[in-house]
Structure 1
Amino acid sequence: MATMAASHFFHRRHVISSGDCPSITSNPLAGGSLKQFSSFYKPKGFSSVQNNYRNLRTQAASDGRKQVEIVYNLDEKLNRLADEVDMDAGLSRLTLFSPCKINVFLRITSKRPDGFHDLASLFHVISLGDKIKFSLSPSKSTDRLSTNVPGIPLDERNLIIKALNLYRKKTGSDKFFWVHVDKRVPTGAGLGGGSSNAATALWAANQFSGGLATEKELQEWSGEIGSDVPFFFSNGAAYCTGRGEIVQDIPSPVPFDLPMVLIKPPEACSTAEVYKRFRLDVSSTIDPLTLLEKISKSGISQDVCVNDLEPPAFEVLPSLKRLKQRIIAAGRGKYDAVFMSGSGSTIVGVGSPDPPQFIYDEEDYKDVFFSEANFITRADQQWYSEPSSSSNAGSPADQTSCTA
């Protein structure tokens, strides 16, 4: 049935293989990089001219002078010029995978004097993500952002633009960019898609500038954009505390081949409204380090996937509580755990990549986003890569009304 779901939704959504991410165009003589885009620089409309010149030959003169042959290969000359442009320009294009995350557990431990809450959570990157293309802009004053999803802000409200502005402020870089986001992660979902986009933009800007900043500096700066952004500079699995910005890398405590399904209704939960309704006195009291230890030793189970934001989120969106209950009941034990990620409104079912049958059958769920996923991490000094087996299915109807 998962295959049916994928085929039903793939015609609405662009899916790429892992071979596309990350894709880098740089100095063709530096680091063994391929000259992937030299053809980009070739002027068009020369075909008839070059054919004339390529085969142009002088005829033997009637006075018997030596015949001269002229072979002018314009194609070869243009390629040589393109190579020279590439060498002068350095990195000019970069395509990166921007994955989202789930909170395997999320404990709210206290309320801070500044009005925020302290949390303790196991964050983990998963294989669902956006694809972001960066190109150097000739402009020295403005970034240009586009996306495949209507309703996404394309100005300074977007976290990508905020990240690029922050990088220039911190480093003095004068580089501006054309950015296109192929959006697959639903927004307002508790999956950190916007935070991941911001982290990916910081990483990209640093690559274009030859690594002016260390990863640690990028991570520290990123906290100025949002509490979840620093996590994405971890290795992909981290125990996060504070507002989420204190990131402790840990070895992934879960197997990478453990499947899951993400199910998100069209409605989003307001994070501010969820925290407004949160009551510390009725929340869980279990030690988050105990939860982490249990997961490390015994894996994921329903009792360790505690999310203290579920009760207030279910008050904000009662239909979300019914959705979770129905997934558990219809799953008949095929899920190791069913829980909400972040402040909602995504419900995660770990243990199977397939949604329950009622998601396909009932009219009430025709606009629900769903996607299979797996846990992933990244290698040192490299950004995240989309696994070749990653499959992204879902209804874009959910995304059209959301903002980044």
Structure 2
Amino acid sequence: MATMAAASSHLFYNNGISSKFNKSSITLKQSSFYHKNCRNFRTHLVVKASSSDNNDTKNGRKQEELVYNLDEKLNRLADEVDMNAGLSRLSLFSPCKINVFLRITNKRPDGFHDLASLFHVISLGDKIKFSLSPSKTTDRLSTNVPGIPLDERNLIIKALNLYRKKTGSDKFFWVHVDKKVPTGAGLGGGSSNAATALWAANQFSGCLATEQELQEWSGEIGSDVPFFFSNGAAYCTGRGEVVQDIPSPVPFDLPMVLIKPPEACSTAEVYKRFRLDVSSTADPLALLEKISKNGISQDVCINDLEPPAFEVLPSLKRLKQRIVAAGRGKYDAVFMSGSGSTIVGVGSADPPQFLYDEEDYKDVFLSEANFITRTENQWYQEPSSSNTTSFVDQSSYAA
């Protein structure tokens, strides 16, 4: 059998199979989808040579029944490929998150702030394609939008460098990112990309690290990155890197709309203007319990970073006020995610009409979304119903 250099192969078969099994009727061709296609191939082809009931002979030869089970053969071949070849290409969904509530509880001696927040993954996300590179010295990164750094400033490259540092892996990659999540949005799109890159690198290396190790290492990249190694719903504390998995307290069919103006909020500037003495005093655990019992409502969706973000970007405050007024109660809650500048309306996927009618909002990014989680030992899957409508100029994706 020819050597198979990829993890999987396409199946080609001869439709005109004769009563004698023809070895040339099945050909394996190198491709990255063979294993998937074989496993999903459900047609059983059976080849029989004619046989008489009384075992009479014809021309001095006994006729015997020969049954060839193609499905069984395909499964054996797929298992052989899995055992003998390494992964060469991988495409993964990289979803973003929202903060259902975000409480800032303390100013730390190191200059950071302690927070307590309900993080939840949602169905809006990027698609990232990873391929093994023949290079042993550098990764290559590309994307579908301009303005995003493609060097070590990008969190994907940082994640790949970190993985090699921690494991001693010598694998480098060609990576292409199909961006759907705008940056500067408070949605953790870059952090999700970094977590997805760590997961991918580990798959290519035969899972040298555990998920717990990946989660621990990822805190060196950024405070939000460890969250994406949760099941998709987590109560996060510390700087955000202390992640406690929880069962999702919200229904997956609960619709929402994401509304982001072209302007971004500087996270550093938002925290600089934050004042602990005038922030909310609500107990974050009480907020979590109320959401678990009664669902999402305006009174539980507290974000302590809204006031300073509205100082940094006064137009964002006006946008939120107009969404609340125009919604006429169709949203269960309207709030800002993270440090901005995305406003989330939970309870309906329909944006207010003024966003379509007024020239001032022609460049606003709009997307509907739902809450999602992931299955243990698997990465996040893009929902088939995921739909994004974008009226955004490319500046919304700039780093």
Query: What are the equivalent positions in structure 2 for 1:241-256 lying under 5 Å apart?
Result: 241-256=237-252
Distance 1:389 1:132 in 2: 19
Encode CA deviations 1:249-300: one digit per residue, 9 max, x unaligned: 0000000000000000000000000000000000000100000000000000
Q: Which residue of 2 aligns with 1:173?
A: 169
Question: Which residues in structure 2 correspond to 1:18-33 (within 5 Å)?
Answer: 26-27=7-8
Residues 2-17 of structure 1 aligned to structure 2 (within 5 Å): none
On the 8 A contact 1:149/1:400 being kept in 2, the answer is no
Residue 38 of structure 1, CA deviation: 2.0
Please state if 1:163 is matched with 2:159. Answer: yes
List aligned pairs for 1:107-186, cutoff 5 A: 107-186=103-182
CA contact (8 A) 1:28 1:86 kept: no
- Whole-angstrom CA distance in 2 between matches of 1:137 and 1:366: 41
Specify the alignment match of 1:271 in structure 2. 267
2:390 aligns to what SS in structure 1? coil
Q: Does 1:38 align with 2:30?
A: yes
Residue 102 of structure 1 contacts residue 341 of structure 1 at CA under 8 Å; is this kept in 2? Answer: yes
Deviation at 1:392, TM superposition (A): 1.3
| Counterpart Cα distance in 1 of 2:301 and 2:113 | 19
Query: By percentage of residues, which structure has more strand?
Result: 2
Shift of 1:402: 1.5
One of 229, 233, 257 as aligned partner of 1:261 = 257
Aligned counterpart, 2:358: 362
| Cα separation, 1, equivalents of 2:175 and 2:363 | 28
Where 1:195 maps in the other structure, the secondary structure is helix
Q: Which residue of 2 aligns with 1:282?
A: 278
Are 2:367 and 2:389, in contact at CA under 8 Å, matched by a contact in 1? yes
d(CA) in 2 for partners of 1:36, 1:191:
43
**Conserved in 2, the CA contact under 8 Å of 1:368 and 1:398?**
no
Matched, 1:193 2:186: no
Q: TM-score, normalised by structure 2?
A: 0.81
Alpha-carbon distance in structure 1 between the residues aligned to 2:29 and 2:179: 24
Q: Normalization by structure 1: what TM-score?
A: 0.80
Secondary structure at 1:170's aligned position in 2? Answer: helix
**1:338 corresponds to 2:338:** no
CA distance in 2, matches of 1:380, 1:158: 27
Q: Once the 2 structures are TM-superposed, how far is the Cα of residue 398 of structure 1 from its aligned partner?
A: 4.8
Aligned partners of 2:262 and 2:396 also within 8 Å: no
Deviation at 1:39, TM superposition (A): 5.2
- Matched to 2:149, the amino acid is P
Q: In structure 1, what is the equivalent of residue 213 of structure 2? A: 217
CA 1:259–1:397 in 2, change beyond 3 Å: closer, same or farther? same
- For structure 2, the residue ranges without an aligned partner over 5 or more in a row are 1-5, 11-26, 34-78
Alpha-carbon distance between aligned partners in 2 of 1:156 and 1:321, rounded to the nearest angstrom: 35
Q: Distance in 1 between matches of 2:268 and 2:249?
A: 31
1:88 shift after superposition? 5.8
Q: Structure 1: any 5+ residue segments left out of the alignment?
A: 1-24, 30-34, 42-82
The residue aligned with 2:224 is: 228
Contact 2:183/2:396 (CA < 8 Å) preserved in 1? no
Task: Tell me how far apart the structure 2 counterparts of residues 37 and 266 of structure 1 sit (CA, whole Å).
Answer: 47
The amino acid across from 2:326 in the alignment is A
* C-alpha contact 1:369 1:398 (8 A) present in aligned 2: no
Q: Provide the aligned length of Structure 1 versus Structure 2.
A: 333
User: What's the CA shift string for 1:114-147, capped at 9, x where partnerless?
Assistant: 0000000000000000000000000000000000
Distance 1:386 1:399 in 2: 25
Is residue 2:377 matched to residue 1:381?
Answer: yes
Do the aligned residues in 2 keep the contact of 1:236 with 1:378 (CA within 8 Å)?
yes
Quick one: which amino acid aligns to residue 95 of structure 2? P
Query: How far does residue 26 in structure 1 lie from its aligned partner after superposition?
Result: 2.3
Deviation track 1:55-106 (CA, whole Å, cap 9, x = no partner) reads xxxxxxxxxxxxxxxxxxxxxxxxxxxx999976510000000000000000
Contact 2:95 2:122 in 1 (8 A): yes
Q: Which has the higher contact order (CA 8 A, sep 6+)?
A: 1
Deviations 1:25-48 (A, max 9, x none): 72559xxxxx9982589xxxxxxx
CA distance in 2, matches of 1:28, 1:401: 36
CA root-mean-square deviation: 2.1
User: Equivalents in 2 of 1:213, 1:333: separation in Å?
Assistant: 48
Q: 1:322 aligns with which of 318, 324, 328?
A: 318
1:307 to 303, 309, 313: 303
Counting aligned pairs with the same residue, the percent is 87
Amino acid at match of 2:30: S
- SS across alignment from 2:326: helix
Structure 1 residue 178: Cα displacement: 0.1
Compute the displacement of 1:221 (Å). Answer: 0.1
> Secondary structure of 1:153's partner?
coil
Match of 2:367 in 1: 371
What is the deviation of 1:396? 3.8
Paired AA for residue 26 in structure 1: A
Is contact 1:150–1:400 with CA below 8 Å preserved after alignment? Answer: no
Q: Is contact 1:164-1:201 (8 Å) kept? A: yes
Give the match for residue 63 of structure 1: none
